[in-house]
Amino acid sequence: MSDFKGYTGKSLEFLKKNNINVGDFVKISSDITYSGIIMPRYEHSDDKHLALKLKSGYNIGLELEKIEKIEKIQSKEKKSEAKENFEKDPSLPKILLLSTGGTIASKVDYRTGAVTPVLTAEELNSSVPELAEIANVDAEVLFSEYSENITPDHWLKIAEKLDKHSKSDYSGIIIAHGTDTMHYTSSFLSFALSGYPIPIALVGSQRSSDRASSDAALNLIGAVRFLLECNTNGVFVVMHQDENDEAIACHFGTRVRKNHTSKRGAFQTVGGDPAFIVVNDTVYRNNTKEFFKEKTYQPKINLKTNVALVKYHPGYDPELFEKILDMNYQVIIFEGTGLGHVGKTMYDKIQKAHEMGIFLGMTSQCIDGRVRMTVYESGRDLMNLGIIPLEDMIPEVALVKAMWAAGNYDNKEIKKVMLQEIASELSN
């Protein structure tokens, strides 16, 4: 790394003048006195600020013009970190951790303050030493992507990798994943790998491991305990239950949403309770629902992305829907209002879509409750136009299931598959 990565113009001149490099521990006198590590800056940052990582783990920006004095306390260490030696206990069960990105399987580089991915079992056990006491964890990086950059092609790569381990001696598998789109990935894996013989846990972190309030280690430890003691199979999302550290919630992979942008307990099971709760190192079953309808492992690892999710709203322009029809989409999932409605201005276009042989499914914008299109006349009209109610399937889950169904079944079978519960995607 450059000694001045991301710094240009005035900020670069300031650092050079004061003999300060990225990674140095400094004391800065400004409106108050700050101590911390000079951080690298983003590529498009201005030249009027310094980035400083405080001991709390938070990063702040300091305006150059307000800095009265900067003093180097300690230079960054040039030497590489010594590799910690540890021996695996052959009596412990084995867990595989596949990293796809995010901060859950990461560590802090205290030379620069940057968060870097954990790449080896040695680094993982060094970062979360409690793991070595309960399991032998093998770590492997599939790819490193922010979750907003995860695509259906990534889902396929994860599923194909998991399929190769379906007959392994691992007790369970962790997918380390960014939180923003984790429930999309968990949904696809639930359908594609229905009946997988061992449990799979997708684990993320709402707050990075360089922050005192980080949930990374606790989520990871909870996930390992869950995999070892749940005595079931299936795909689950394992995260903090709430803001406290007492409980970790294990959600069905097809019944979970991220319902808060930043809280540690951001993920919630929609329409019910989490499948399991981990409290004080003990795993409790929290939901009596059957996890997998498929009793045997029959992977179907294909998908098609010519599937649309249409969120209806007042003022929705039917011509936008016409554009979707022109693009030869195979399935359209509506996120309708209330019990499953869209405005009558859409009726002609919907009838056209039905006549084109497109599968039309209805979900609700409401967070909880079921689609019931027989209650009002408008709902009955939409059913007569060919829209199929999808009970209480979460819209995002319905979208992913439709992609999976389109990739594995012919057009005549899609309706049957969409109405068939495969991986706990319905609450009852």
Which residues neighbour 345 within 8 Å (Cβ) at sequence distance 6 or greater?
316, 318
What is the rounded CA–CA span in Å between residue 32 and residue 389?
60
**Which residues belong to the active site?**
103, 179-180, 258
| pLDDT above 90 as % of the chain | 65
In this predicted structure, what is the pLDDT of residue 360? 98
Report the distance separating Cα 242 and Cα 234, nearest Å.
23
25-29 vs 114-117, strand pairing mode: unpaired
Percentage of the residues of the chain whose pLDDT score is greater than 70: 87
For 239-298, the pLDDT digits (tens) are 988 888 889 999 999 999 999 998 888 899 999 999 999 998 899 998 877 655 557 899
Tokens of 352: 């056209």
Structure tokens given for 244: 């406290």
Fold of 94-285: Rossmann fold (3.40.50)
More confident residue, 263 or 374: 374
Q: Could you read off the pLDDT of 96-117 as tens digits, one per residue?
A: 999 898 766 555 554 444 556 5
Domains 94-285 and 307-419 share a fold: yes
Domain topology for 307-419: Rossmann fold (3.40.50)
What is the CATH code of the structural domain delimited by 9-74?
2.30.30.520
pLDDT of residue 58: 72
Given a cut of 80, whether residue 233 has pLDDT beyond it is: yes
pTM here?
0.84
The rounded mean pLDDT for the chain is: 88
What is the average pLDDT across 15-23? 91
Give mean pLDDT, residues 71-78.
79
- Identify the band that residue 3 occupies on the pLDDT scale cut at 50, 70 and 90: confident
Q: pLDDT at position 82, please?
A: 41
pLDDT in tens, 395-425: 999 999 999 999 999 999 999 999 999 999 9
| Higher per-residue confidence, 244 vs 123 | 244
Strand partners, 73: none
Give the pLDDT band (50/70/90) at residue 147: confident
Distance CA 336, CA 315 (A): 13
Q: How far apart are CA 316 and CA 314, in angstroms?
A: 6
* Whether residue 144 has pLDDT greater than 90: no
Confidence of residue 215 (pLDDT cuts 50, 70, 90): confident
3-state per-residue secondary structure call for 74-89: ECCCCCCCCCCCCCCC
- The answer to whether 204 and 216 have CB atoms below 8 angstroms apart is no
Helices assigned H by DSSP within 215-256: 216-229
Q: What is the domain partition of the chain in residue ranges?
A: 9-74, 94-285, 307-419
Output the pLDDT for position 131: 87
> Taking the alpha carbons of 387, 391, 394, 398 in that order, is the dihedral positive or negative?
negative
- The confidence score (pLDDT) of residue 108 equals 55
Element (H, E) at 426: none
Do the bridges between strand 25-29 and strand 69-74 make them parallel or antiparallel, or are there none, so unpaired? antiparallel
Tokens 């992507």 found at: 145
CA angle 367, 369, 375 (to 5 degrees): 125
pLDDT at 86 over 70: no
307 or 121, which is more confident: 307
Mean pLDDT over 335-339 rounds to 98
